[in-house]
Amino acid sequence: MFLDRVKDLLAYETFNLVAQKRARGETVHSLAIGEPSFDTPAEIVRVAHQAMKRGETHYGPSYGTDEVRSAVAEKVRKRNRIKADIENTIFVTTKFAVYASLCSVARAGYEALVPDPGYYYSEPVILSGGRPVPYRLSKDFDLDLAEVRRKLTPRTRAIVINTPSNPCGKVLKKDLLQDLLALCQERSIRIISDESYADLVYEGRHVSVGSLESSPQTVMTLFSLSKSFAMTGWRAGYMTASVPLIKLVNRLMENTMTCFPQFIETASAYALRNCHDRTLEFRAELKRRRALIEKLMDDIPQLTYQKAEGAFYSFPKYRGKTPSRKLTKALIERYDVALLPGSIFGSQGEGHLRLSFAAAPETITSAMEGLSAYLRENR
């Protein structure tokens, strides 16, 4: 019913071009997709395999198994300092959790604030029956509280934040989160905090806004195993929120997906309890790749950028007036380099390119050579 108002995800324009070129046997140097080049650690795969062999191939509880929910509760208490118990958790694919959390706060004609530039939050707001209201980030991609205040109306029911952020690589600081929380508590607005990249902060510490309240009330926090454990294809994620909101999300699960696959939950519980060291290794490698891409960007005079504080994206601004979608199309067609155009992340993203440095170092190097050649030859 709402799908006729929802647009196709523009990132697929690029992903499809990459797939078509590869199907023709052509090489593409891609920094477009947001996933680590690493494989899932073998021990996690083994646990899933053993669980399947044991018969964990049936329907399971719609909230997730007790085992995975207790691993989640333990993990968020220990690492994110969110005072959540098992009842405050549900195991659900993170991208679906964005939509599900919006559905849980939705009312007819409601509004939700979404960051600009930011991840693909507008379409899920529409899908949940609401109106997305973009709030501009500051020049250095920070949350601007005055701008947020300006965008609030009596219809606002939620604000989506994302830290560390995709595509900007920004990490929000505790003081600002504290102020945002106070504002949202005062106005009875939910904060939907997408912390998919919480484990990938390169300097300083990740702060969960949910850790600033005594139990999950105002804040719904979304996490993912995709990036932390190189598990993008497993579709494993989880969220914490107040019990009434978790119950509503569960209602959506019961009426849509039924449940999440149990053998993936068993492997995810194992990952959450035992594989933090692997995440630290990934983070160290991603930090090296960040240094590589920044060194290569330093050599391209047409680019200016801010250091990514977290996640694994650079979001440089390029010189010139070519629209970013046009630029990235030409880049892939003529230079075999795939990047995402900044404009697909909101109107404030125009003039930027999103580069994932989770790609292998040799891919980063060849893609940046192509980008450099394009910018030299197409002034």
User: In terms of CB distance, is 29 or 227 closer to ligand PLP?
Assistant: 227
User: In terms of CB distance, is 18 or 300 closer to ligand PLP?
Assistant: 18
User: In terms of CB distance, is 270 or 335 closer to ligand PLP?
Assistant: 270
Smallest distance, ligand PLP to C-beta of residue 104, A: 17
User: In terms of CB distance, is 180 or 311 closer to ligand PLP?
Assistant: 311
CA neighbor of 285 nearest in space, from 339, 364, 222: 364
Interatomic CA distance for residues 148 and 161, integer angstroms: 11
Which residues share a beta bridge with 338?
Answer: 30
Smallest distance, ligand PLP to C-beta of residue 261, A: 14
User: In terms of CB distance, is 95 or 170 closer to ligand PLP?
Assistant: 95
User: In terms of CB distance, is 130 or 164 closer to ligand PLP?
Assistant: 164
Structure-block tokens of residue 184 = 């949202």
Smallest distance, ligand PLP to C-beta of residue 82, A: 17
Smallest distance, ligand PLP to C-beta of residue 376, A: 31
Smallest distance, ligand PLP to C-beta of residue 212, A: 21
Smallest distance, ligand PLP to C-beta of residue 378, A: 29
CA neighbor of 323 nearest in space, from 304, 350, 347: 350
Smallest distance, ligand PLP to C-beta of residue 45, A: 17
Interatomic CA distance for residues 373 and 365, integer angstroms: 12
User: In terms of CB distance, is 162 or 372 closer to ligand PLP?
Assistant: 162
Structure-block tokens of residue 350 = 């125009």
CA neighbor of 237 nearest in space, from 356, 77, 68: 68
Smallest distance, ligand PLP to C-beta of residue 204, A: 19
Q: Which residues contact 35 (CB under 8 A, 6 or more apart)?
A: 226, 227, 230, 232, 356, 358
User: Which residue in the block uniquely carries the two structure tokens 């950028």?
Assistant: 305
Smallest distance, ligand PLP to C-beta of residue 196, A: 4
Smallest distance, ligand PLP to C-beta of residue 303, A: 22
User: In terms of CB distance, is 94 or 372 closer to ligand PLP?
Assistant: 94
The contact set with ligand PLP (CB under 6 A) reads: 34, 93-95, 119, 162, 166, 194, 196, 224, 226, 232, 237
Interatomic CA distance for residues 336 and 360, integer angstroms: 16
Q: Which residues contact 42 (CB under 8 A, 6 or more apart)?
A: none
